[in-house]
Amino acid sequence: MKITVCIGSSCHIKGSRQVVEEFRRLIRRYNLEDKVELAGTFCMGECLKGVCVAVDDKVCSVPHDTVEEFFNKNVLECVK
Protein backbone atom coordinates (compact mmCIF):
# COMPACT_ATOMS: atom_id res chain seq x y z
CA MET A 1 0.00 0.00 0.00
CA LYS A 2 1.23 3.49 -0.78
CA ILE A 3 0.21 6.64 1.11
CA THR A 4 1.10 9.87 -0.67
CA VAL A 5 0.76 13.21 1.11
CA CYS A 6 0.71 16.51 -0.77
CA ILE A 7 3.48 18.78 0.46
CA GLY A 8 2.74 21.61 -1.97
CA SER A 9 2.36 25.15 -0.67
CA SER A 10 -1.41 25.08 -0.09
CA CYS A 11 -1.35 21.77 1.78
CA HIS A 12 1.82 22.77 3.64
CA ILE A 13 0.00 25.82 5.02
CA LYS A 14 -2.88 23.54 6.08
CA GLY A 15 -0.60 21.19 8.05
CA SER A 16 0.84 18.58 5.69
CA ARG A 17 4.02 18.33 7.76
CA GLN A 18 2.02 17.28 10.83
CA VAL A 19 0.06 14.82 8.68
CA VAL A 20 3.28 13.21 7.43
CA GLU A 21 4.70 12.97 10.95
CA GLU A 22 1.50 11.40 12.28
CA PHE A 23 1.47 8.81 9.46
CA ARG A 24 5.12 7.98 10.23
CA ARG A 25 4.30 7.51 13.89
CA LEU A 26 1.31 5.27 13.16
CA ILE A 27 3.20 3.17 10.61
CA ARG A 28 5.94 2.57 13.20
CA ARG A 29 3.42 1.92 16.01
CA TYR A 30 1.78 -0.88 14.04
CA ASN A 31 5.05 -2.20 12.53
CA LEU A 32 3.82 -1.65 8.99
CA GLU A 33 7.10 -0.40 7.50
CA ASP A 34 7.25 -3.43 5.18
CA LYS A 35 3.60 -3.08 4.09
CA VAL A 36 3.03 0.69 3.82
CA GLU A 37 5.11 3.11 1.78
CA LEU A 38 4.83 6.79 2.76
CA ALA A 39 5.71 9.39 0.14
CA GLY A 40 5.33 13.09 -0.51
CA THR A 41 4.34 14.82 -3.71
CA PHE A 42 3.61 18.30 -4.90
CA CYS A 43 0.16 19.50 -5.92
CA MET A 44 -2.47 16.81 -6.41
CA GLY A 45 -4.92 19.29 -7.90
CA GLU A 46 -7.33 19.32 -4.96
CA CYS A 47 -5.99 22.42 -3.15
CA LEU A 48 -9.36 23.57 -1.81
CA LYS A 49 -9.92 20.29 0.04
CA GLY A 50 -7.09 20.71 2.50
CA VAL A 51 -4.22 18.35 3.05
CA CYS A 52 -4.56 15.91 0.18
CA VAL A 53 -3.68 12.29 0.87
CA ALA A 54 -3.83 9.46 -1.63
CA VAL A 55 -4.09 5.88 -0.47
CA ASP A 56 -3.08 3.98 -3.55
CA ASP A 57 -5.22 5.88 -6.10
CA LYS A 58 -7.98 7.29 -3.88
CA VAL A 59 -7.46 10.99 -3.00
CA CYS A 60 -8.95 12.32 0.25
CA SER A 61 -8.73 15.41 2.42
CA VAL A 62 -7.12 14.65 5.78
CA PRO A 63 -6.77 17.46 8.32
CA HIS A 64 -3.95 16.82 10.80
CA ASP A 65 -6.36 16.26 13.68
CA THR A 66 -8.07 13.34 11.86
CA VAL A 67 -5.03 11.36 10.70
CA GLU A 68 -5.35 8.55 13.24
CA GLU A 69 -9.05 8.03 12.47
CA PHE A 70 -8.28 8.08 8.72
CA PHE A 71 -5.39 5.65 9.23
CA ASN A 72 -7.53 3.22 11.22
CA LYS A 73 -10.28 3.17 8.58
CA ASN A 74 -8.25 3.34 5.39
CA VAL A 75 -4.96 1.67 6.20
CA LEU A 76 -5.22 -0.70 9.16
CA GLU A 77 -8.38 -2.38 7.93
CA CYS A 78 -6.84 -2.93 4.49
CA VAL A 79 -3.48 -4.37 5.53
CA LYS A 80 -4.71 -6.83 8.15
Structural domains of the chain, count: 1
SS3 of 40, please?
strand
Enclosing domain of residue 68 = 2-79
Please count the CA atoms within 13 angstroms of the CA of 36 that sit on its side-chain side.
24
CATH code of the domain containing 38: 3.40.30.10
Arithmetic mean of pLDDT, 10-17 = 91
Integer Cα distance of 61 and 25 in angstroms = 19
User: How much is the pTM?
Assistant: 0.90
What tens digit of pLDDT does each residue of 23-49 get?
999 999 999 999 999 999 998 887 777
